[in-house]
Structure 1
Amino acid sequence: MTDGQRTPVIIDCDTGVDDALALLFAVRHPALDVRAITCVAGNTDVDGVVRNTLTVLEQAGAPHIPVARGAERPLIEAPRSARHVHGHDGMADLGLPEPAREPADVDAVTLLRREILASPRPVTLIPTAPLTNIALLLRTHPEVVRNIERIVFMGGAAAVGNATPVAEFNVWHDPEAAAILLTAGVPITMYGLDVFTRVVVPAAEVRRLRASDEPGARLAGELLAHRPAHPDSRPDDPSETAGGLGDAGAVCAVVDPQGLTTHRLPVDVSLAPGPTRGMTIVDRRPRPGESELHEGTREQPLVDVALDVDVERYVKLYLATVEG
């Protein structure tokens, strides 16, 4: 398969455990041309994200891919990490060696602009992190929109949140950035918590990956074991541990969009202080309500919101790709 037949993608991440799973898949799938990876604070601090990203690429045996350091904090809020989920180093505290690879000598926004405009075919952006870098790109270099095919982002929820009862972590971490993304003027797919939590690799497959002699597959197994599908699973007992793919499902959706059931719906982001801040307000009503009838309607971005997923299909796709 030539580069002209592969889908050019750029991943914007906060590598963490499930971002690492996404990277392992992306660099090994023959249909994807990973042109760049940009890093942002989220699961851990941005320097840790850069280190983790370079480490994953080395463990995967990936070819040279430029990796750039991006925003170290949200547009307005202070940074708030998720080390309690991803480990102190953001990578399950596996004790992986320091990477020999070096990041690019440009910042994330510069790299994003360069690679998007240089691509011979429109690029698909896959943000699996808080959307700060993407918002800065869109506001600083709006001309990139002409060469963006689609944005498939992991974030948001139509139902229940995780950072708060109603807000998902990536959007909650930088709600203003998410609001900017929604007005990008390109097709957008929201791979949110409604499908994110459902794609789970069975325990037997996790055990097999952990026993692999191939470093990338073995790393995928160790990372999956750190992401138990059920709160009462014990990562120290490999016989029990089934692992959630998390962010990697968003990359699977780029390769195989038919595995998702999406509905094109108006989506807004709550920016007001208080318990709803960071909530993605997904309007699933079949008709306008009293608010619109009395106060009029306002234009809202339409987003392809993922509401169902073929779990077995994406698990098989992931395993076949990572084990290669």
Structure 2
Amino acid sequence: MTDQQRIPVIIDCDTGVDDALALLFAVRHPGLDLRAVTCVAGNTDVDGVVRNTLTVLDVAGAGDVPVARGAERPLIEPARSATVHGRDGMGDIAGLPAPARRPVDTDAVTLLRREILASPRPVTLIPTAPLTNIALLLRTHPEVTRNLERIVFMGGAVAVGNATPVAEFNVWHDPEAAAILLTAGVPITMYGLDVFQRVVVPGEDVRRLRASTEPGTRLAGDLLAHRPSAPEADAGESAGGLGDAGAVCAVVDPAGLTTRPLPVEVSLAPGPTRGQTIVDRRPRHGESETHHGVREQALVDVGLDVDAERYARLYLGTVERGRGLSSGPRDQYT
């Protein structure tokens, strides 16, 4: 595959077990040109996110991918780290080396602007984290939208949430930022909890990955082992959910994701619905719109169904493809 056929992508993440799975996939898929990674507080504090991101890129065998530190707290709320990823955000996996690479000497918003505008072809932006960096970018440098192909973000939910009964963590962490994203004026795909929880790697595959002698493949297995499948998934006790990595799979293989263009807004009011993504699936307007005029809302391509086996196969085939990569200092991970 030539450089002209590869999809230029930038990942904004809060690495995080499943963000790490997403980075491993993005580095190793031959159809993706990973131009940069930006970091934001979420699964752990932002300095921990930077450290985890650099380590994953090392172990994955990534080339010279610039990494930048971003927002350390949401636009309004205090920082609230997730609790499901262990003390270090990476599942407390033993043996992970200190990163050999270093972040660039600039902030995430500056790096995002530079890499988006410098790309010879429009960039697909993949946020798998709270959307603070993206909101700051869009408000500070709206000119970047002219070279954005699409934003595919992991966040939101049509049905139930995880941070609250109705709100998904990434949107709940910074609802104002998510609301800004939805007014970006570029095509947007929402890869929400409704599909996020369904893509599961079977236990026998997880065990095979963990037994690999190739560091990146083995790391993928260890990360999957820390991410048990959704409770309703019939995939076995040792199966692992892909989580955020499914959003990157959707960029490579959009036909595996069933979407529908729907109006989406974010609840910003204090109280139990704060951070909820309100997805209007009605076939016609209701009384509120009929009597008071139609509120302008962006149409978002909302993920409603996913070919879970297809994405699991895509992920495994991509990550295991990296077996022949030169390891260097990554061999410290044993």
The residue that corresponds to 1:182 in the other structure is: 182
CA distance in 1, matches of 2:25, 2:185: 28
Match of 1:166 in 2: 166
Distance in structure 1 (CA, Å) of the matches to 2:45 and 2:86: 12
The one of 272, 275, 280 aligned to 1:283? 280
Distance 2:298 2:173 in 1: 21
Q: Distance in 1 between matches of 2:261 and 2:164?
A: 25
Which of 292, 296, 304 is 1:295 aligned to? 292
Distance 2:264 2:135 in 1: 17
Instruction: Give, in whole Å, the separation in 1 of the partners of 2:298 and 2:174.
Output: 18
Give how far 1:297 is off.
1.2
The CA distance in 1 between the partners of 2:230 and 2:189, in whole Å, is: 27
- Mind listing any 5+ residue stretches in structure 2 that lack a counterpart? 322-334
Is 1:258 aligned to residue 267 of structure 2? no
Per the TM alignment, residue 240 of structure 1 is displaced from its structure 2 partner at its CA by 3.2
- Counterpart in 2 of 1:59? 59
Contact 2:230 2:241 in 1 (8 A): no
CA–CA distance in structure 1, aligned partners of residues 119 and 238 of structure 2: 41
Partner of 2:89: 90
Structure 2 counterpart of 1:244, which letter?
G
Q: Secondary structure at the match of 1:38?
A: strand
Determine the C-alpha separation between the residues in 2 that align with 1:316 and 1:94. 24
- 2: distance between equivalents of 1:140 and 1:312? 40
Question: CA shift at 1:268, angstroms?
Answer: 0.3
Q: Quote how far apart the aligned CAs of 1:232 are.
A: 10
Which residue identity lines up with residue 59 of structure 2 in the other structure?
Answer: Q
Report the secondary structure of 1:62's partner residue: coil
The match for 2:241 is 244
> 308, 311, 314: which one pairs with 1:311?
308
List, as ranges, runs of 4+ consecutive aligned residues in structure 1 with deviation greater than 6 Å: none
% identical aligned pairs: 83
> 2:38·2:67 contact (CA, 8 Å) conserved in 1?
yes
Report the Cα distance in structure 1 between the residues aligned to 2:55 and 2:276, rounded to whole angstroms. 33
Report the Cα distance in structure 1 between the residues aligned to 2:290 and 2:182, rounded to whole angstroms. Answer: 25
Residue aligned with 1:167, SS: coil
Matched residue of 2:5: which SS?
coil
> SS state of the match for residue 125, structure 2?
strand
For this pair of structures, how many residues does the alignment match? 318
Aligned-CA RMSD value: 1.2
Distance 2:253 2:231 in 1: 29
- Output the CA distance in 2 between the equivalents of 1:240 and 1:159: 25
What SS does the corresponding residue of 1:86 show, helix, strand or coil? coil
Tell me the CA shift for residue 231 of structure 1.
Answer: 5.2
> CA, structure 1 residues 305+232, in 2 after alignment: closer, same or farther (shift >3 Å)?
closer
For residues 40 and 229 of structure 2, the distance between their equivalents in structure 1, rounded to whole angstroms, comes to 26
In the other structure, the counterpart of 1:43 is 43
SS of match in other structure, 1:308: strand
- Aligned mates of 1:231, 1:30 — CA distance in 2: 33
Task: Extract unaligned runs of 5+ from structure 1.
Answer: 234-238
